[in-house]
Structures are given as C-alpha cells and as structure tokens.
Chain A
Amino acid sequence: MDPLFLAYSYFRRRKYEQCVELCSQLLDKNPYDQAAWSLKTRALTEQVYIDEVDVDEEGIAELIMDDNSIAQVARPGTSLKVPGTGQGAPSQGVRPMSQSGRPLTGFVRPGTQSTRPGTMEQAIRTPRTAHTARPVTSASGRYVRLGTASMLSSPDGPFINLARLNMPKYSARPNLAKSLFEYIFHHENDVRNALDLASGATEACQFQDWWWKVQLGKCYYRLGMYRDAEKQFKSALKQQDMVDTYLYLCKVYVRLDQPLTAVEVYKQGLQRFIGEASLLTGIARVYEGMNDMSNTVQFYKDVLHQDNMSIEAIACIGTHYFYTDQPEIALKFYRRLLQMGVYNTELFNNLGLCCFYAQQYDMTLTCFERALSLASDDNMSDVWYNIGHVALGIGDLTLAYQSFRLALASNNDHAEAYNNLGVLEMKKGRLEMSRAFFQAAFNLAPHMYEPHYNFASMSDKVGDLQSSFNAARRASDAFSDHMDSKQLLSSLRKHFAML
C-alpha cells in the first residue's frame, strides 16, 4: 500500500502517533515531500489541539494589571467587575456568593471562581469552593506548559526549526501555510512567529482570506492586544459569517470588560445563525457574570430548546431553582443529568440535597452515600459539609458536628464548615471555642458575611463592643443589604456617640 495513503488513513482515524511515524519515514527518504511534511505538521498539531473558543482563565497578572477596561469605576450593570445588584436573583442570605461577589454557579468553568479581585491581596486568597490554593498565576504560564508537549514528542530535536524557517517563502504558499501556522500556534506555542506568518500570509492573499484574519485576531488576543484583535475579527466577519468568529469577538469584549457589547455581538450572531447553542450559552454566561439571574435562566432555557443535552444549561437552571425554593424542579433537572450519563460526586451531592429539601427522605442518604463513594480528595469536604446541613435539618446536632469536623479533616480550609462549627459551639455555650472557629472562618474567607456577623453578634453579647463593631463593619462590607448587621452597627454607633 502507498505509505502516504496509509498515513492519511491513520490521520483520519485519529491515530496520530502512527501517522507521524510514517510521515517521518517518508521524509527521511525524501526531505522535500511536501505532502508528507504537511501531514506531519497537522498530525502533530492535532495531538495537542485545544479549542480556543472556550478555555480561558485569567491569571493574576492579567487581572491586576488590567489596563484595557475603559472605566475604572463602571456604572452598575455595565461591567463584569462590579456585578450588579442582581435582578431576579435570590439575595446573598439565600444563595451563597463566591469570592468574586457573584452567586455560586451551577457549573464550574474557567473564570467562575476567581474572577476580578479588587486588590492583589484578594487575588491570592482561596476561591470559595475550589480546592486549589489560588487562581492561576498567569495565563501565559499555562500556555508555556501546553507548549512543552513539542519537546516530548520528538526526542531528536524539534520537527521544524522555527528560527531557521523562511517565513515569507511559506506565507506565499497557501497550501502549506495554514497547517504550518496551526503547528506553530498550537504545537510550538510561539505566538510571535505565528503572527509573523499570519501577517505575511494575509498580505500574500491581498487580505481576501477571512481565515487568516481570524488567526491574526487569535494571535493578537494571546498577546493581549485586544483592540487589534477586535479589528481583525470584525473584518473577518465582514467577509464571512462564522460562529467561531463571533465567539472570539465576544471573548475580546468580555476581556475588555464590555459585557453589554458582547451580548450585542452574540445577538447579531444569532440573527445569522438562528438558534446556535454556543452563542446562546455565551449570552447566558455573560448575564450570569453580571448577576442578572432572570436573563441567565431565560437564555439557558433557550439553549435547552436547541440542544437538550447541554449539561451546563441543565446544571445552571437546576441550581437556580434550588435556590429559589423549588427543590422539586431542581431535582427534575438533576435527574435528567443522571439519565444523560453524568455520574460524579457533585451530581449525587446535589441530588441528595434536592431530595432532602423536597422531602424525599428515602433517597437522600443513598445519594449521599453514592456521592461519598465517588468523592475524591477535592470534593469530599463539600459532601461532608452538605451532610452536616442535612443533619441540621433533622435536628441531629451531634451528627452535624461530626460531619463538619469530617469536612475539615478532608479540607483544612473549608471556611463554611468552620463557621457552622462555630454556630454549633455557640449553641452549646462554649463561647471561646466558637470565637476561635469564627475567626478561622473569616480569615479564610473574608467574602462571606456570615462569620463576620456571627462574630459581631457574639462579641456584642459579651460586651466587647470594639470587636463587635469592627466585625459588623466587615459583615456589611461583604453583604451590604444585611439587615441584622446594619441594625447591630447602628446600635453600636449610638453607643460610641454617646458622651
């Protein structure tokens, strides 16, 4: 059989290693075999290919030294930095907040846990539920790690020596240039050279090929030149409507902290591609980032109309129903996930909670047992924490205490468990212990208002008004509409103002 034909066949069957091997043999025989060369670059690229549309986590460096956003103090509802007051969303007292000041999402994806801290100090702190110590240090660090794949796969040096590549020659040859570009971008992860090649190629085809413009935009995006990226994507869209291009453009706008423009562009895309689920999902995500729950749920429902297997949509809607006092409906959504084959700790944990709050007691414990048996070190503590809540619900305080303890055993930094242990100790009347627990809780998670308030009200009771005042102030910083903190503060202010 013709070895090139066989190599193609391997490529189509996604057996990239064999394909690369065959191509290497062909290239050994004839180093100028363009077909084999091109196929090898494609095979190597495919091995490490990542869809650029979704995966994106902002690093601390990007977050803190962000000089792209237009307004430093944006009006509420126009920025992702200052999540709005939350239309249609239950208050913080009902649905917990993440560190970024947004309600907990039903679906953990990049950017939902560590977004947009105000200060460096805040950035380094632990996100609310993620077990990882802190957000990624820098996005570029991540890409470097992806790039190291190239060194593993070829022990006798890199396949293509980029430094010695004659870029203008290749950029003038459209048949080779595209696969070479993807190789440089994804496999070598050398954005500068990729940009060189792309700008040469787009010139060579007289700026007529939209594909090159999109690639240029991707390069600019990686390099943090968002305005240039925006220009390229827009010009590509003029030539050719593509879903991908819309998604890239919106990513740029989100990075520029212009969520409303992003939604606008998504909607333009929807006019051309009616009912495209990825565009709808994008809108829902932006609204969720802005804390606008009614729109979020609306768009996730639209997603489900188009794609009724969308796990993200189902999970988010389920969470929304759970926190708006409709655990029965949430249960339906989560059951759907189970039917679809999702089989993990988080799902069983949520099912267990829904069953408990929907009073289907027979299923509760089995769900939690399943969740525990599936749990890894990362989420074991959360399962125990929720079991503790169920124990509180049936009034079994000893079991609750033990569960919270177990939650701490598997994750030492579980601030919510510390807080609840503090409350239980307070109920037993052991004030010193509970004070220590509250302190641990609010040092770990200063964005939660509960431990601050608990600490304040406890200090107020024993008469230590200074600590109480400071804690109450922190509580109302974390949750500005909390009535109890406000009342406590005003009564303390009266105390202080009295001469």
Chain B
Amino acid sequence: APELAIFERRNWLIHLHFVRKEYDTCKVIVKEQLAETNGMCEYAVYVQALILRQEGRIQESLELFQTCTLLNPQSVDNLKQVARSLFLLARHKAAIDVYNEAAKMTEGDWEISHNKGVCYMYLKNPEQAKVCLKEAISFNRNELSYIMLGKVYLAEKDIHMAIDVYKRAVEFSPENGEVLTTLGLLYMQTGQFQKAFEHLGNALTYDPCNVKAILAAGSMMQHHGDFDVALTKYRVAAAETPESPPLWNNIGMCFFGKKKYVAAISCLKRANYLAPFDWKILYNLGLVHLSMQQYASAFHFLSAAINLRPKIPALFMLLAVALTHLDDPDNAREAYEQAAAMDGDKDPMVHLNYAVFLYNQGDRRGAQKQFNSFETATKAQGNVEIDPEMLELSSKLGPALQVGESMVWQQKAKAEVKPPPLPQVGLRTH
C-alpha cells in the first residue's frame, strides 16, 4: 500500500492522545514526528504549543504558534492562537493587532470580537470594549461575552445596564451559578431584595456549595432576623472556605443578632485577623464593643477603621458615641461635627445622636439645630422605614427641646444614645 503523505501521517494519533490528556505520550510522538519532518508538521507544532500552554509555559507556546503561522499563514486558527498567547502574556495591544489581522481573513467570528473586547477592557478602553463585545454577541450569543460586557458596565459603575446584560445572560443560560449569583448581588445593591433572593436561591439550587451565593443569601436572611437559618447556611460555606473574612464577619454579626456577644467578638476578631484592612469588620467590632460597654476597645477599633477609611460618617458617629462614654466631650463634639459635615444631611441618625449629645451637654440651641436637621433628613428619606427605637427617642427629645409638632412635656427626656441598626456586610463584589 502506498504511504500516506508523510507530514500528516500521524496526526490522528497525536489528536487522540491530546484529547485524552495523555500529554506525556503526546509529547513523545510529537517529538518523533517533528524529527521526521524537520519541524514542518504544522499540526504537531500546534498541539505541542497547546500542551505547553496547559503547563503554564506561555512564552514558549507563543513561539511555537508563531512557527505555525509561518508554516501556514492562511490559517485563521493559528493567528487566533498567537493573539491568545499574547493576551495571556498581558501584551494586549499586540494581541489586538493580531486579532485585527485575523479578522481580515474571516467574517463574523465570535471569538475574535469577544477577545478583542476583553483586551480593550484590560487596556481600560470601555467604549471600544463595549462595541467589540456587542458585536460578538450579535455573531453568537455566548454567556462569556455577556459576563464580560457586564463587567465593563460594572467597572463604569453603571449598575442598571449591567443588570440588563446579566438578565439577558440568565435568559440565555439559566443554570449558570456564577451569572445568577452576580445578578442577585446586583439586585441587592439596588435594593430589590425580592428579586435578589430569587436569583440567589436559584443559584443555590444548581450549586449548593457556591460560597458567594451562600454569603449573599445568608446576609439577606440576617437582614430579616433569621439568624439560625443564616448560621446553618454559613456552616456549609465554612467547610468550603475556612479562611474567608466576610464569612467570619457575617457569622459574627449573626451571633451579635442573637445577643451572644462573646462568640460574636471572637468570630469578628478572627475575621479581622484574616483581613486587617477591611474597615467593615472593624466597624462591626467597634459596634459590638460599644454594646458590651467596652468603650476603650470600641474606640480603638473605630479609630483603626477611620485610619483605613477616613470618609465614612457613620464611623465618626460611633467614635463620638465611644468618646462620650469615655468622658471626653470635647473630642466627641468634634467627631460629631466631622460626621455631620461629611454626611450632608443624609443620615438622620447622625443628627439625632448629635442632638442628644448636645442636649445632655446642656447646649440647648445646638441641640435644637441638630434636631431640625434630623427632621429634614427623615423627611428627605421619605418612604424608607424608620427604626422604631429612633422614632421613640425623637418623640421624647422633640418635646424636651420644645421643637417639633408634639406638645410640650415638662418631664425631662432621659435620652440614651442608641447605636444604629446592624450594618449587614454582604460580600465584596469583585
């Protein structure tokens, strides 16, 4: 029988071993084949390059793919692989150039447009990225393109467009846990808890160990006071990722909600040990210590948080509360001032606490002023539910200050500074 063309004679064998992931055997055959053909066998070089990439040796694999393009300059696949290697090596501009070249040879290739979009994303050129990714989606609806497009929008902080994109992605592939989770988190950020819960629940049915979804769902349960249910959810997550700071933070706040303060502190401290830069954990630690009446410790945690994140009014307010209890009214007043100045009449709590503080200090006029800002802030918030404790306190303080609509009371309000409701720290969205 006549011999087959010598170059391609054993391609089938190479392919067989490659798809079985028998890389060692594959490499041996490739080597033999290349020796036989003086390195002219395109397919052998191609497969070797793929194997090298799998092993993380991208630079060498790039050189081999370049050899491939020399051997067969007409092949789009080779060019695409060269571009992909460049992309993996973080040489995004070069990658885009090669992709453009490849695009000249073929029409309507989803992969080229998609990868170009991703490259533009890394080059911080969101406009071009969006154009390319949308083009990719028009060629071929693929969830990867949707995810990337969503990421571009998120990087621009355009949550609504991102939600839109992810919604279409979910329609296209309703069982992708990652997409479902991200969509749920985005809904959470916009305050649509019902929808968020729905999507997170879906994500958990397809993948019950999805830590991100568990954390998000758990934090929503915490929000509604279902601490025990949340804790059982977290138990699953803790087995998966025992070193996750947000997880320990949420567990700590669950215990805090159940009024188990010591457990709460020890969980939060572990979270802080694992992530010393996370201001939310420090904030929660400060809060728990405030309610444990350990004001000096609370002060330290809060001041650490402020050092890390100096722009959060709530931190200054809590610091002021701690300082009040440490008998340092001057600094407390300054902290309140700082908080109020940063806040700009958004959070009624700051003003209410400040008013109470001033009232207790005997500064009636200042207190009245703060109380008025409190009322405007509450009105500005409008339909949002107001904490009953806050209402009760204000209804006592108002008459005592002789402002507001209710009638004058003789009795002095025994005002007590209340910490704000627990901030529920969800997880960091990447």
Which A residues lie at the B interface, using CB under 8 A? 91, 93-94, 325, 357, 359, 361, 392-397, 427, 462-466, 469-470, 473, 482-484, 493, 495-497
Q: Are the C-beta atoms of A396 and B242 separated by less than 8 Å?
A: no
Q: Which of B54, B90, B122 touches A496 (beta carbons < 8 Å)?
A: B54
Residue of B at shortest CB range from A424? Answer: B277
Q: Which of A357, A395, A463, A469 touches B304 (beta carbons < 8 Å)?
A: A395
Which B residues lie at the A interface, using CB under 8 A? 53-54, 56-59, 87-90, 92, 122, 240-244, 266, 269-270, 272-274, 276-277, 282, 294, 296-297, 300, 303-308
Could you tell me the distance between the alpha carbons of A497 and B84 in the complex, rounded to whole angstroms?
11
Known contacts A361-B296, A393-B276, A395-B304; 13 additional CB pairs below 8 A are: A91-B243, A325-B266, A357-B269, A359-B297, A392-B277, A393-B272, A396-B307, A466-B56, A466-B89, A469-B56, A473-B56, A482-B243, A484-B243
* Chain A residues whose CB sits within 8 angstroms of the CB of B307 once the complex forms: 394-397
* Chain B residues whose CB sits within 8 angstroms of the CB of A466 once the complex forms: 56-59, 88-89
Given A394-B304, A465-B90, A466-B88, A483 and B241 touching (CB < 8 A)?
Answer: yes
Q: Are the C-beta atoms of A496 and B53 separated by less than 8 Å?
A: yes
Residue of A at shortest CB range from B59? Answer: A466
Given A357-B269, A395-B303, A396-B307, A464 and B241 touching (CB < 8 A)?
Answer: no
Could you tell me the distance between the alpha carbons of A482 and B53 in the complex, rounded to whole angstroms?
24
* Interchain Cβ contacts within 8 Å, total number: 75
Could you tell me the distance between the alpha carbons of A292 and B232 in the complex, rounded to whole angstroms?
29
Nearest Cβ in chain A — how far from B56, in angstroms?
Answer: 4
Q: Are the C-beta atoms of B269 and A325 separated by less than 8 Å?
A: yes
Q: Are the C-beta atoms of B54 and A483 separated by less than 8 Å?
A: no
* Chain B residues whose CB sits within 8 angstroms of the CB of A325 once the complex forms: 266, 269-270, 273
Could you tell me the distance between the alpha carbons of A393 and B241 in the complex, rounded to whole angstroms?
23
Residue of A at shortest CB range from B294? Answer: A359
The 9 residue pairs across chains A and B that have the minimum distance between CB atoms = A395-B307, A395-B304, A466-B58, A463-B90, A93-B243, A464-B90, A469-B56, A483-B241, A359-B297
Q: Are the C-beta atoms of B273 and A94 separated by less than 8 Å?
A: yes
Nearest Cβ in chain B — how far from A387, in angstroms?
Answer: 14
Nearest Cβ in chain A — how far from B158, in angstroms?
Answer: 21
Could you tell me the distance between the alpha carbons of A464 and B95 in the complex, rounded to whole angstroms?
13
Nearest Cβ in chain B — how far from A255, in angstroms?
Answer: 35
Given A94-B273, A325-B269, A462 and B304 touching (CB < 8 A)?
Answer: no
Q: Are the C-beta atoms of A470 and B306 separated by less than 8 Å?
A: no
Q: Are the C-beta atoms of B306 and A483 separated by less than 8 Å?
A: no
Q: Are the C-beta atoms of A392 and B276 separated by less than 8 Å?
A: yes
* Chain B residues whose CB sits within 8 angstroms of the CB of A470 once the complex forms: 56
Could you tell me the distance between the alpha carbons of A43 and B176 in the complex, rounded to whole angstroms?
82
Residue of A at shortest CB range from B119? Answer: A463
Nearest Cβ in chain A — how far from B400, in angstroms?
Answer: 36
* Chain B residues whose CB sits within 8 angstroms of the CB of A359 once the complex forms: 294, 296-297, 300
* Chain B residues whose CB sits within 8 angstroms of the CB of A465 once the complex forms: 58, 88-90
